[in-house]
Structure 1
């Protein structure tokens, strides 16, 4: 069997295709969560705190700041040693929301699986020998 043939068999197996679809949907879902955080949650947090809160621009310059820079991009451009914790906070919020949503999706899927498993199975068809014995019994009762 050639390498190309083996690769074709590997690539078209259900698990590989399922994984590919999961990665694509997961990436798109991650973008949705990013938008929820950036476009919905952060504006609410800013409103509650009474002003625009931009976590991504929160940082501490480690060492000297001779030019008195107050912008993260400018600090990085100037080559200063920057401890940029604000972007981490935003990514952490994204992760927590994504984990929460995935938790609820898994919980709902498990509940649906349990309900499906609990449904009683259809009774097995009566074997032919039992059916034949019942017919004989019924005929003997008639006589």
Structure 2
């Protein structure tokens, strides 16, 4: 399936993975494809392409991608070349990017950092940030599923 929700100068065929509205996934996701999240993901999300959260989409974990478009909820840090928080978007965490767009109505409970800032906590940039996120993810699992 070819889908490109951010037009680029050079059209290339990119596959898209969709986490549907009635789907809840627990675990980290790593892909080279575009990712559309309409359901719930409890875990870190990593894509070398684009990640888009629909208004009902929710991620409890960190997101790292080239382009991130958030119209749902994220409880974690986001790092990307471009981060765009839409009208219904809510982020409880920090943004790490050179290009951040906050549309009217969006909510950010965190700070914005440039990737080259010296004041940024190195843990935010680390690949293995799962240990520090474990309590938050454990609490989210209990809230979503009723067990740990």
Fold match by TM threshold 0.5: no
Return the structure number with greater helix share.
1
Return the structure number with greater strand share.
2
Kindly indicate whether structure 1 or structure 2 has the higher relative contact order, using CA contacts under 8 Å at least 6 residues apart: 1
Flag the structure with larger Rg. 1
Q: TM-score, normalised by structure 1?
A: 0.23
